[in-house]
Every structure is written in C-alpha cells, then in structure tokens.
Amino acid sequence: MTETRWLTADEQRAWRAYLEATILLFDALDRQLQHDSGLPHTYYEILVRLSEADGRAMRMSELADATRSSRSRLSHAVARLEERGWLERVDCETDKRGQVAVLTDKGFAALEAAAPGHVAAVRRHLIDQLSAEQIGQLEQIGTVVLKALESPECQAVRAADE
C-alpha cells in the first residue's frame, strides 16, 4: 500500500458538492415517486426500461444491466411488481434457465401515470437549474465515470467479491 493521496481542497469541494446534491436529489425524487405513485425509483426504472424494449419484454439479466441493478435486487423487485400485476415473468424459449419479464397493460398505464410527475421533479430540481453548457458538461462527466466503472479491471474487482 502506497502513501494515501488525500483529496486537494478543490477536489474536496467538488466531491462534497456532488455528493450532497446527489443525496438530496435522489431523496427528493424517491420521495416524490413514492408519494405520488407508490414506487421507489428503482422500480420506476424497471418499468421504463421494459416499456422501451421490443415487445415490452426483456431477459432478467439484460434488465438488471440496463437498470444498473444486481441480479438479486432485480429478482426481489420483479417479484413485488408481479404481485401488483404490473409485469409478468415467462420462461425463456431459447434458454431454459432464463426468464423474461413482460410489462402488462396495467403496468404500462401505471408508468404513464407516474411519468409526468417524475419528469417534472427531475426538471425542477436538476435540469432547469443548469445552463445548456452545464447539461453538456454533466453528460461528459457522467459518461467518463460510467466508462471507468464498466471497464474490465473494475468488473474484475466486483466479480472477485461475489
């Protein structure tokens, strides 16, 4: 282990501002969705991804990757959503181990009802606070960080823990 490289003052400020803003933002979005639609944000994302997919259906692991969720988390979440009748699980044709999650009409309707309030909250708290330039910067930053976290060496560390 080499000597710790602590954060500089600039880095500290950036990290703290990002961290605190994100905590408050995610809390606010979760609160809004839960209050108005009875969904946590992770469940909302599952519905969104399914609604955008061909036939409103996706394999479980594809859906887990798309929503940046663990397999386990997704399994639990899908089980809850199935109880509500918002989606169904059917066996996969080509792989007998596989399951396909399919959004029901009821689930699609629930998503349509939830979306406007959620988008409004994302706008109010985030998008409409930023200049067009800052929106571009945020995309760049997000993309770079995402790429690093998806890189092979990073995946290897995750896999080593499982």
Binding region for DNA (CB under 7 A): 27, 30-31, 34-35, 40, 42-43, 59-62, 64, 69-80, 89, 92, 95-100, 161-162
Six-digit token string for 66: 């798309």
Q: Which does 106 bind (CB under 5 to 8 A by kind): DNA, a second copy, none?
A: none
Nearest distance, CB of residue 111 and a second copy, angstroms: 13
Name which of 66 and 122 has its Cβ closer to DNA. 66
Name which of 79 and 127 has its Cβ closer to a second copy. 127
Which residues make up the interface to a second copy (CB under 8 A)? 1, 4-7, 10-11, 13-28, 31, 35, 68, 115-116, 119-120, 122-127, 129-130, 132, 134-146, 148-150, 154, 158, 161
Residue among 81, 76, 90 at smallest CA distance from 110: 81
Residue among 106, 97, 87, 83 at smallest CA distance from 46: 87
Q: Are 86 and 110 in contact (CB under 8 A)?
A: yes
Assign 3-class secondary structure to 68-108. Answer: CCCHHHHHHHHHHHHHCCCEEEEECCCCCCCEEEEECHHHH
Q: Which does 43 bind (CB under 5 to 8 A by kind): DNA, a second copy, none?
A: DNA
Measured between alpha carbons, how far is 141 from 135 in angstroms, rounded to an integer?
A: 10
Measured between alpha carbons, how far is 135 from 142 in angstroms, rounded to an integer?
A: 11
Name which of 36 and 82 has its Cβ closer to a second copy. 36
Name which of 3 and 54 has its Cβ closer to DNA. 54
